[in-house]
Each structure stands twice: as C-alpha cells, then as structure tokens.
A and B are shown apart, each in its own frame.
Chain A
Amino acid sequence: MMVDEARVDDSEGFDVFFRSEYPRLAALGAALCGNREDGRDVAQEALARAFNSWDNVGGLDQPGAWARRVVVNLARDHARHREVKRRRLPALASELKTRPVTASLPFDSDFWAAVATLPDRQRTAVALFYVGDQSIGQVAEVMRVTEGSVKTTLHQARTRLSRLLQQENGS
C-alpha cells in the first residue's frame, strides 16, 4: 500500500511510513545521485527530516510526495556539492572524474549512465516517474510544473536517451 494514499496520523504512523517508503526513496535517490550509497544517504536524511517534523508531515495528504521532493532536493544539493568540489578542489577533481556516477547501480548500467548525462530537469522527471512510481500529476506536483511540462520533459528525456543509447550501441 502506498502510504501516500492513506493519511498517516497515528503514533505508529512514522514507522509504517518509513517501512513503506524507505526502499523506494533509496532507489529514487540512487537514480538521481548515481550510486546506491548516496541514494541510501539522501533517503535516510529525508526520512530523518520527516521524523523531526512528523507532527506536520504526517498530517499531509501525501507525506510520500513530500519525502520524494526532499530526496530530489537533497540529491540536487549532493550533485551541486560534487560539482563544487570538482571545480574548486583540484586534488579531488581527478578522483571525482575517475569515479563513474553509475558505478554501483545494478542492471543495465548503460541506461543509468545515459540518465546521468541528462539535464537536471529531465533526470528528475525520469527518476520520479519510473523509480519513484509517481503519476504524471504527482511528478508535476513534486517538480512544481504543469502536467504538460512533465509530459514534454519525459518525451525529451526519452528521445535523448534513445539517441545516447543508440550511439553507444553503434560505437
């Protein structure tokens, strides 16, 4: 059962919410960050924030959507900090360059490598739609854009992925 669909407001609600959402949030984080370890970290951080504000978060109609939004934001911060390190800490730059962002993602690493090259908005839409198991409307809500924009973004992402993956197959 998706906790989103059942408002959680009892004292055990957070535990139910955690057990239900944690694996998928971790997968969502992994898709956005590019590896399992960081995905788990951002999921745990998002859930820790939910725990600290459970009086409010637990009362939301869709606490799962709230958590997905936090994961997206944390993953974006993670990517930004990684970029800052790469740009400003030369000693780390080579290490970051040599560590593929998809190094630890299982199954179809070519696909995730292609996803990692997408623009932020397209990558977020793909992760939320496919990994986050969100409807177009829910993705729009999390990304604060219209449903039409999500459809367009996903179409652009699939087109770009198709081109990228065909190039790989051809090379």
Chain B
Amino acid sequence: MSDDELTDDPIHRRAAAAAAALIDSFEDLDVEADLDSTRHGPQPFVAAPATRRWLLAAAALLIVAAGTVALVAVSNNQAPDSDLSPATPQPTVVPLPSAPTSPAATASTSVPESTTTTSVARSTLPIASVSYLDPPPELTLRPLASLDVPAEESGSYSVAVGDLGVAVSQWTYSDDSVQRLDVVDFSGESRSFPDFGGNALLAYGPGDVLYMTQQGTSIEEFAVVAVALGVDGATEVRRERENVNLFLEYPPMSFGHTATGVVHRRDYLADESPIIDYVNIDGQPVTLVDAPPTFRFETAEQAGAGLGGTILSSLGTSWTVAVDAAPDRAYTYVGISPPAPGTDGHGIYVTHIGSNADPSTDFGAPSGWVIADLQPGGTATWWSVPDGWGVVASDAWGTVLGRRAGATLELAFVDFP
C-alpha cells in the first residue's frame, strides 16, 4: 500500500487519531517525580549479587543438520519433587536458595584444578574483542562424566542442563532406533533410562522433568512433551502439538527457560509464548521466580553472522563484542548458537574464529571455537575452547562442554575465572 493509499485508509486514519489521543492523555504524567523515583528509588533490576545464585531452569538443544544432535540435563541435590507438587491448582513457585549448594552453582567461586592454560582476562568495556591472530587463553574444564553413545555415523545425542543435573538423550539412526536417557547429577552419580522414547531434549527442569521433542509417525504427530523421571521410569505428563519446522536444524543452546515455560532462545524477545508450560512430576503447573535472563543480539544480522555485535539481556544489560575471524573461516550449516545464560548471572556467547579445517566439504569445518563470558556488569572476556570440545548446553547451573571420541561422550563443566 502506497503512502497515498494509506492516508486514504479509514482504519489508518482512525488508528493515527486514537494513538495521538492516547499519547496526549499521558501528558499529565508527573515526569519529574517519576524521574526522581527512577533515579533514587529501589533498583530491582540490577543483576543478582554473586552470592545469590539463581535457582532457575534452562536448557539447551543441539540439533545439527548432519545428524549431530546433543542435549543434556544436570541435577543437584536441591528441590525435591515434593517441593514442586502443589496441593492446589495454583502454580508452584520454585524459590531461590539463599546460598548455593551444588558444585555447579559454586563453580565460579571454586578454585578449579587447572589442566589447561589460564591467564588474566584481556577484554573489558566498552568492546570485548577477539582475534584469530591472537586467540584468547584456553578454558579450564572440570570433568563430569563419560557416557557410551552411538558412534557418529550411526546415531546422535542431545544434552540439557537443569537444576538437578545434566541429561543426555541418545538414539541410533536405524528403523529400530535404540534410545536411552542418562541423567548425571552434579556429584557425577548417574541414572539410566533404557528404551527412552523421545528425540532431542529442549530443557531439563524445574525439577525432574524433561522437555523434549517426539517425532511420532507423521508430521502431524510431532509434539513437545514433558516427561517426568521417577523410580519406575519415565512418564509423559504433558504434551503440546507443535510445528516440526520450528525444531529443525538449530544449533546448541537454542532453547531455554522463562518464568512459565520453555522458549526458543533465539526468538523469545521478539515474539514468544512458551512452547510448553512447566509441570511437575504429577503434571501440575509450576512457575519459576527470578527466571534466568534471556539474551539476544541487537539485530538479526548480528545474530546470524557469528562475528559479534551488541548483545542485550532481558535485565537491561548490554555487551558489545567484536570478532576478527580468519578470512577463510568456515560456516556452519545450522548457524551460531544464541547467547545463553551461565552461572552467577553471567551469559555466554559462542562462535569460531579459526580457518576452515575441511575446505573439501560444502560448509567446511569450523575451528578455533571461542566463548565470550558476559559478566553482569556489562564487561566480557573471551576464552578459547580446548581442541576437540564443543559447548553443548549452558544455563544458570553451568556451561557444559562435550567431546565425542568414538562411542564415548565426555562431559565437562566450564569454570570461568
């Protein structure tokens, strides 16, 4: 519609008039009083102090087009199921702990055993830069577990991290696909659920409930389901039919938590209601308070390129990160993961800066993976991911890296200094 046609549109004229009247009606605001209140009143929106960890749920999905899918969920010793079982239909509030008790929650304040090089952060406000010419120091990893998974050519896995631990769903590509779920808590203790029906994990928690996709026998049957984990096995407690196209070919960490349910991290701030609302193991609704912030790039172009830009959080913090990548950098088929929450109010942003490690393939093989640790104050620090490892999940309980070697998957947490 041209401008002239628009001007002649009665609905356009009516909308403009109604909007003008609405704006005029706010001219009576006591701007100076509200400004003073904003400047000197309580400031509830600053990031939580380091000693007050978020007890939040979030998860990560790794769907890689060529068949590399990973999702994990982690658990600690808090929040027994009974705490998530309301006596009435009212939503249950999952409270914040006054002090962290899980290894993951204390990660940033512990002194990790250094197995790789660490050094002083080099990037601060206003722009945190990273360059392939001078890669940042390597991250220190804290091993969590080793699991048997299908070899790369015969199957895949997905990973999500939550308040109770790290979950790994795996399956083979054959028609009689073998599926299994492993859950490892923060102490390294694991539970295994054989014949686990489901595919990629979207999120783990709050509580011992997994959110995952389920293919069904036709596109129409595709759904996101909530599965409660109990001593007798896994039980579906909620199901939402979904459009399969929304769940294809996403990079790791594409899904996470808000106060009421699981959302697309990439899309949440633009347009989303939860994909699926939280439930407890009895299928009753639960709600998170102080849910982890969501993150996004200022523009869609920045988000897709993996070359930095301005990252905005739902708490109002912003970071500007600059990426100087090798001229022959590869491109990933599934794109760059959206920024995701980390522990202690931090966020992370993952990209790659090295040369194409396999120019013979269509998209090549990325190398030189790096992580920006987005700190609550608006500063950021870059770190290199050790060779062979990749970020498979990140949430308020930890950032999880994975390394696949044959039919073994190694998992480790990152401890940002």
By a beta-carbon cutoff of 8 Å, the part of chain A in contact with chain B is 14-15, 18-19, 22-24, 26-27, 30-31, 36, 39-40, 44-45, 47-53, 55-57, 59-60, 66, 69-70, 73, 76-77, 80-81, 84, 88-90, 105-108, 111-112, 120-121, 124, 126, 130-131, 141, 143-145, 151, 155, 158, 161-162, 165
A165 to chain B, nearest CB (A): 7
Produce 1/0 per residue, B300-321, CB < 8 A to A.
Answer: 1000000000101011111110
- Nearest B residue to A111, CB-CB: B18
B44 to chain A, nearest CB (A): 8
* B49 CB within 8 Å of chain A: no
* B31→A57 contact, CB < 8 A: no
A135 to chain B, nearest CB (A): 12
Q: How many Å lie between the Cα of A143 and that of B298 in the bound state?
A: 10
Given contacts A19-B31, A108-B21, A145-B270, 19 further A-B contacts (CB under 8 A): A23-B26, A23-B31, A49-B315, A49-B316, A50-B316, A51-B43, A52-B46, A56-B317, A60-B310, A80-B260, A106-B22, A107-B17, A107-B18, A107-B25, A111-B14, A111-B18, A144-B269, A144-B270, A158-B15
* A111→B15 contact, CB < 8 A: yes
Q: How many Å lie between the Cα of A23 and that of B298 in the bound state?
A: 24
A124 to chain B, nearest CB (A): 7
Q: How many Å lie between the Cα of A19 and that of B45 in the bound state?
A: 20
By a beta-carbon cutoff of 8 Å, the part of chain B in contact with chain A is 1, 9-12, 14-19, 21-23, 25-27, 29, 31, 34-35, 37-39, 43-46, 89-91, 125-126, 259-260, 269-274, 285, 287, 296, 298-300, 310, 312, 314-320, 378
- Nearest A residue to B285, CB-CB: A88
* A144→B89 contact, CB < 8 A: no
Q: How many Å lie between the Cα of A77 and that of B45 in the bound state?
A: 15
- Nearest A residue to B41, CB-CB: A48
Contact A126 B29, CB 8 Å, known A22-B35, A44-B34, A60-B310: no
Residues in B whose Cβ lies below 8 Å from that of A106 = 21-22, 25
* B15→A126 contact, CB < 8 A: yes
A25 to chain B, nearest CB (A): 9
Contact A144 B300, CB 8 Å, known A18-B31, A88-B91, A106-B22: yes
A93 to chain B, nearest CB (A): 11
Residues in B whose Cβ lies below 8 Å from that of A31 = 19, 22
* B11→A59 contact, CB < 8 A: no
B78 to chain A, nearest CB (A): 24
* B9→A66 contact, CB < 8 A: no
> When the two chains form the complex, which single residue of B260, B314, B378 contacts A55, counting CB atoms closer than 8 Å?
B378
Q: How many Å lie between the Cα of A14 and that of B38 in the bound state?
A: 11
Residues in A whose Cβ lies below 8 Å from that of B27 = 23
* A18→B38 contact, CB < 8 A: yes
A171 to chain B, nearest CB (A): 18
- Nearest A residue to B272, CB-CB: A76
Q: How many Å lie between the Cα of A31 and that of B125 in the bound state?
A: 36
Residues in B whose Cβ lies below 8 Å from that of A88 = 89-91, 285
Q: How many Å lie between the Cα of A30 and that of B15 in the bound state?
A: 14
Q: How many Å lie between the Cα of A84 and that of B29 in the bound state?
A: 30
Residues in B whose Cβ lies below 8 Å from that of A19 = 31, 35
* B38→A121 contact, CB < 8 A: no
* A131→B22 contact, CB < 8 A: yes
A169 to chain B, nearest CB (A): 12
B407 to chain A, nearest CB (A): 41
B259 to chain A, nearest CB (A): 8
B173 to chain A, nearest CB (A): 35
* B317→A108 contact, CB < 8 A: no
Residues in A whose Cβ lies below 8 Å from that of B287 = 84
20 CB < 8 A contacts A-B: A18-B31, A22-B29, A24-B26, A27-B23, A31-B22, A36-B25, A36-B26, A47-B38, A48-B38, A55-B125, A56-B378, A69-B269, A84-B287, A107-B18, A108-B21, A120-B273, A121-B271, A124-B271, A131-B23, A158-B12
* B316→A52 contact, CB < 8 A: yes
